Structure 1
Amino acid sequence: MRILGLDYGDRRIGVAVSDELGWTAQGIDTLEKRRDEGELAKIAELVKQYEIEEIVVGLPKNMNGTIGPRGEICMAFADKLRGQLELPVHLWDERLTTVSAHRTLLEADVSRGKRKQVVDKMAATLILQNYLDSKTIR
């Protein structure tokens, strides 16, 4: 059973996928958001290609745990995915995942230009891996 992880941002969507056992997450792509919502068709293609059974969308919460405007946008996106793909879509607290991704890339001495290209994919990987880890702990 594979799970798709998404980091839904203002301009891009980071994409990660789990292995077949649901133990590890790997970043696979970064999708540019489009006015015609073409990214939804690309996500549908990835769902078929990887035989996805669940989707996890990062939910950016405020540090006090409340949900602000950005979180509401992600919740609406998750609802849209549920309606189009007819799959379970989970929201996962993504506080500080992008910060962690940037820090990891900085520590790896990745150039600023390369960081821009991979930070969303890495954030999606962190979101999905945290979700997978929470399932194995139970």
Structure 2
Amino acid sequence: MPERTGGPWLAIDYGERLVGLAMAHPMTGTARPLPPLPNTSPERLDQDLSSVIEEWRPDRIIVGLPLAGDGAESAMSRKVRRFARRLAEQVAPVEVELQDERMTSELAARQFAERRRSGRARRKDAASLDSLAAAVILDAWMRDHGIV
């Protein structure tokens, strides 16, 4: 089980157009979405992520791994593994972990639809769906590690 440290955890839902982000603090164990980052180039994404990491100073970074329904690797999961390895080199000694994200996009979409029905979200908030998926990934990681 991860140590409960003073710093927060950052979750990343890597996408080819947008990269969703979410944070959780060990004291609260509650994930909350952050504004997503555009993924227009590796250099720009590295810069934007560096700014987020500098601002929040996470103790651990959780990257969602998009496996196929049967757990098999896909072209996207291989891209995410490369992204996570590159990120780990850039942020060492901060630990970077992969978290199975099967079904998180569907769950995030259902949560967003529920928020729309209840009036807590508008259509323009759909841009944050990737970050809502990152929060779902982080919630799953915390649950898997007995934190919540």
Alignment TM-score > 0.5, same fold: yes
Q: Which TM-score applies when normalising by structure 2?
A: 0.85
Structure 2 partner of 1:135: 145
Match of 1:114 among 125, 135, 140: 125
- 2:123 aligned with 1:97: no
The alignment of Structure 1 onto Structure 2 pairs a total of residues equal to 137
Structure 1 consecutive aligned stretches of length 4 or more whose deviation exceeds 6 Å: none
Q: Is the 8 A contact 1:23 1:133 kept in 2?
A: no
List per-residue Cα deviations over 1:20-43 (Å, max 9, x = no partner): 426111111100012252111221
Kindly provide the amino acid, as one letter, of the partner of residue 74 in structure 1.
Answer: V
Structure 2 partner of 1:81: 87
Distance 1:92 1:137, change over 3 A: same
Match of 1:24 among 25, 30, 38: 30
| In 2: Cα distance, 1:13 partner to 1:136 partner | 26
Look up the SS of the partner of 2:145 in the other structure: helix
Look up the SS of the partner of 1:52 in the other structure: coil
Distance 1:57 1:22, change over 3 A: farther
Look up the SS of the partner of 2:61 in the other structure: strand
- The answer for unaligned runs of 5 or more in structure 1 is none
| In 1: Cα distance, 2:49 partner to 2:36 partner | 11
Structure 2 partner of 1:60: 66
Q: Is the 8 A contact 2:65 2:80 kept in 1?
A: yes
Look up the SS of the partner of 2:146 in the other structure: helix
Look up the SS of the partner of 1:108 in the other structure: helix
> Residue 51 of structure 1: CA displacement?
1.7
Structure 2 partner of 1:124: 134
> Residue 59 of structure 1: CA displacement?
0.2
Q: Percent identity?
A: 27
- The answer for unaligned runs of 5 or more in structure 2 is 1-6
